Structure 1
Amino acid sequence: MSAPSRIVPLLAEGVLAVEGTAAPSLSAGAAQPLPAPGRYLVEPLPEAPLTVTLDERSVTIRPGGWSGELGPSRGGRVTGRARDDLDPGRDVTVLALATGGVVARATARAADGGRFTLDLPATVARAPYRTRLTIGIAGSDHVLGRVDAGRPPRAWGPAPEAPRLRIKISTPNLREAPLWGDSHFAASLAAAFERLGRPVGVDCMDAWYGRTAPEDAVLVIRGRQPVQLDPGKINLMWLISHPDRVEDAEYAQYDRVFVASDIYAAHLKDRGLPHVEVLHQATDAVLFGGVAPPETRRSAPVFVGNSRREYRTMVKWCVEQGVPLDLYGGGWDGVLPPGYLRAPSVANRDLPALYAAHGLLLNDHWDSMRDNGFLSNRLFDGSATGTPILTDPVAGLEAVFGDTIATASEPEAFAEIIRSCLDDPTPFLARAARAREIVLGAHTFDHRAATLAAAVDRIAAG
């Protein structure tokens, strides 16, 4: 008779764990199964207490209102502090979570300042392999940190051949890959590695774990959720967006962290995180750099993007200011007046010609990217085609592109730039030509593959 399934009362970075095979139900949102057994992605992230039910048993997870930190950990003993900030007088339970479930518990006593000592079982602490444990507060979404238990040998000497690398992306599976930007990003990067004579593989989420192909090094293109790493391999992260989704404890798991922002890389270094390097996004020079400039361009800006369930600012401004727009993207039905939407999607291979056919390319950023200096990949792709670009102001733009890309932060200036570009495109095309030189000279996936390959080789050589 199989053991009953149990809920692990911890929501770790949006991921819920279950011990057993049964699927949980939620009082709000949905639990999407992940490739790792017993793991579910909760969407959307709860803002109020969430009740999780499994086999007629329920637990409540409260988001927010918790604090704590890990202290020294050695010899199978983990110490730290944990506290319920909304009820500071009560004791709380601390959990150690491994891949298979909870391996240890401890009580953080309020009367002792929330201190706890968590003793790991010998089967975990003295195992001849390393296990990465997540330490968190039961009934919460608060992860105190992560620790490694066990004693794995890790000896990286000079390799007789280049370490074998696999790229992990957040695309759910190959069937959905054409709809995900991460998939096209990784495919272009993999092709650049091939041109270096360094074949690599790309894994969607459903193939992150359990792969039998040789794998010495892993490059995680950090997306919506973290990847469970094997500390016996070389582990690299390339953070290209959404820095608000990554905690310091996750960065600490990697041998090297590459950040697509000068500003945010400096921020991480100021926080004491080692092994952080700047690596901006890039373009596929074969795809975007090879498009022939047209004799004439459409006298309209083009915007490629889904609605994201909102009236995106630049699209809204076009409508309000009465400027023309060719829009490609999904989710716009019923949002826009007639005449703007050209198609619900456009294939990645068709983007270079689409950009180059227009007099102006519009680009915007997520708030967290804009504020932290993460330059959109579309800036590099569009510039590679020699197309003028108008974007929202983003920190760090001039450090990479100089004055070659126009910006607007309010609707009147936005409309004026569009009209000026369409009426007299010559100065805008001259700036776009300089942007193209900048991108093709230093910001292609061939440049990035060379940087990443060199980093893997240095780490492998010890």
Structure 2
Amino acid sequence: MSSARSGLRERFARRVRLARRRLRWVVKISAPQGAAGDAWGDVAFADDLALALRRLGQTVRIDRLGAPLEAPGGGWDDVVLWLRGLAEPTPVSNAVNMLWIISHPEMVDDREIDRGWDHVYAASEKWAGERSRRTGTFVVPLLQAASQDRFAATGPADPHDILFVGTTRGVERPVVLDAVRVGAQLQIYGHGWEEYVEARYIRADHLSFEAVPAAYRGARRVLNDHWEDMKQEGFISNRLFEAVASGACVVSDRVQGMDELFGPMVRTYGSLQELIQLLDRDDLWPNTAERRDKAEEVLRDHSFDARARVLLRDALASFDLQ
């Protein structure tokens, strides 16, 4: 088939999809292909977002690192959404191009923001505002989220005392090492910790995505921290949304905007004595009913379904303007 006839066919097919408000999406992520990428957080994020978009009647494909830019079979994707992680993205022809910066903001320069995206989002109000002013391109704050399919304050619980889920990232993670220093009954899931803590603290080198919600629900406290650049730039971690949506009480480092989102469900400490108090004293934390109320609020306002509605609205508006 000639390229002209192929283009006509694709334009007609797109008009039909637009009339039905059922677009063809591809979500592109930085995780590598195969087992090496299966444990990446980008994979779970993309899966949860795709499920939410499909609930809105959308067709969604997820492409990992190295996948061709164009749709399989020479067809057109209606919307190309890049979840900006480690890999630098490129806009695609014949599509609405969206960039959502969810991590590693130190890698994103002004040139990338000004590359001709139809929509640019960032998981930080602070960073979005600063880059909008600096580049003249409007960057919309769109925070990370929790899956209402996987997380809730009610359901099976896997008992833990002080829980941390994550790798070392090849660096010392202060919240974990401080918990060890104060003698916490710490239980770690993640690889690489043998270099930093005694083996008795390490439960396993991995906790499956499916097992995380029950672990959060059953933990007396959940520990969290951020990459330094994300902390400085106001990128609130996905773990906080998921843990609070599970009704967990979280001890974390401080990020701008965190208190307004999560209130007393997420607390910070300035000294080891304060950490001891937060880990030991249940009376310093919200009660069961308050925790469930906050979990429901997070899942109402900060679910992937809420994020999918914003993305679909903006994608449809882009086609209305063409």
Band the TM-score falls in, shorter-chain normalisation: 0.7 to 0.9
Report the Cα offset of residue 206 of structure 1: 2.1
8 Å CA contact 1:157, 1:460 repeated in 2: no
Partner residue of 1:165?
25
Structure 1 residues 388 and 333: CA distance shift in structure 2, 3 A: same
Q: Deviations over 1:363-391 (max 9, x none)?
A: 10011111111110011111111111111
- Is 1:177 the counterpart of 2:40 in the alignment? no
2:101 maps to amino acid: L
User: Are the structure 2 counterparts of residues 431 and 175 from structure 1 closer, same or farther at C-alpha, using a change threshold of 3 Å?
Assistant: same
- Matched letter for residue 437 of structure 1: E
| Partner residue of 1:460 out of 296, 319, 322 | 319
Matched, 1:374 2:235: yes
Structure 1 residue 428 displacement after superposition: 5.3
Q: How far apart are 1:290 and its partner, in Å?
A: 7.0
Q: How many residues align?
A: 304
Aligned 8 A contact 1:363 1:389 in 2: yes
Q: CA deviation at 1:398?
A: 1.9
CA contact (8 A) 1:386 1:433 kept: yes
Instruction: Show the counterpart of 2:63.
Output: 203
Q: Could you tell me which of 133, 136, 142 is aligned with 1:270?
A: 133
Q: 2:245 matched to 1:392?
A: no
Does structure 2 retain, via aligned residues, the 8 Å contact 1:168–1:208?
Answer: no
1:278-317 deviation line (CA, Å, top 9, x unaligned): 11100110111275165x954x210011111122111110
Q: Which amino acid aligns with 2:295?
A: R
Identity %: 32
The residue aligned with 2:92 is 230
Letter in 1 for 2:148: A
Instruction: Work out the CA distance in 1 between the residues paired with 2:154 and 2:68.
Output: 35
Cα deviations across residues 372-416 of structure 1 (Å, max 9, x unaligned)?
Answer: 111100111111111111111111112322333211243332222
Q: CA deviation at 1:448?
A: 0.7
SS, match of residue 111 in structure 2: helix
Distance 1:197 1:157, change over 3 A: closer
The answer on whether the counterparts of 1:393 and 1:409 sit within 8 Å (CA) in structure 2 is no
- 1:439 counterpart = 2:298: yes
CA deviations 1:311-349 (Å, max 9, x no partner) are 211111012111211111100124212311011101001
Aligned residue number for residue 344 of structure 1: 205
- SS at structure 2 position matched to 1:165: strand
The answer to whether structure 1 residue 448 and structure 2 residue 307 are counterparts is: yes
Distance between the aligned counterparts of 2:264 and 2:284, measured in 1? 16
> 1:190 and 1:174, CA in 2 relative to 1: closer, same or farther beyond 3 A?
farther
Once the two structures are superposed, residues 395-441 of structure 1 have per-residue CA deviations (whole angstroms, 9 ceiling, x without a partner) of 111232233321124333222211113xx476354553343132112
Q: Are 1:255 and 2:118 an aligned pair?
A: yes
Q: Deviations over 1:48-100 (max 9, x none)?
A: xxxxxxxxxxxxxxxxxxxxxxxxxxxxxxxxxxxxxxxxxxxxxxxxxxxxx
- Ranges in structure 1 where 5+ consecutive residues have no aligned partner: 1-153
Give 1:208 deviation, angstroms. Answer: 3.9
Cα distance in structure 2, aligned partners of 1:284 and 1:359: 21
Letter in 1 for 2:60: V
Is contact 1:282–1:443 with CA below 8 Å preserved after alignment?
yes
The CA distance in 2 between the partners of 1:425 and 1:297, in whole Å, is 20
Query: Which sits farther off after the overlay, 227-236 or 358-367?
Result: 227-236
**Counterpart secondary structure, 1:461:** helix
TM-score (norm 2): 0.87
| Distance (Å, rounded) in 2 between the aligned partners of 1:303 and 1:356 | 13
Gaps of 5+ in 2: 1-10
Residue 360 (structure 1) aligned with residue 221 (structure 2): yes
Match of 2:101 in 1: 239
Higher strand share: 1
Which residue is 2:5 aligned to?
A: none
* CA distance in 1 between partners of 2:56 and 2:34 (Å): 25
Tell me how far apart the structure 2 counterparts of residues 428 and 369 of structure 1 sit (CA, whole Å).
Answer: 30
Q: How far, CA to CA, are the matches of 1:411 and 1:450 in structure 2?
A: 42
More helix by share: 2
CA contact (8 A) 1:401 1:438 kept: no
- CA–CA separation in structure 2 for the residues paired with 1:349 and 1:291: 15
Tell me, yes or no, if the aligned pair for 1:305 and 1:328 is still in contact at 8 Å.
Answer: yes
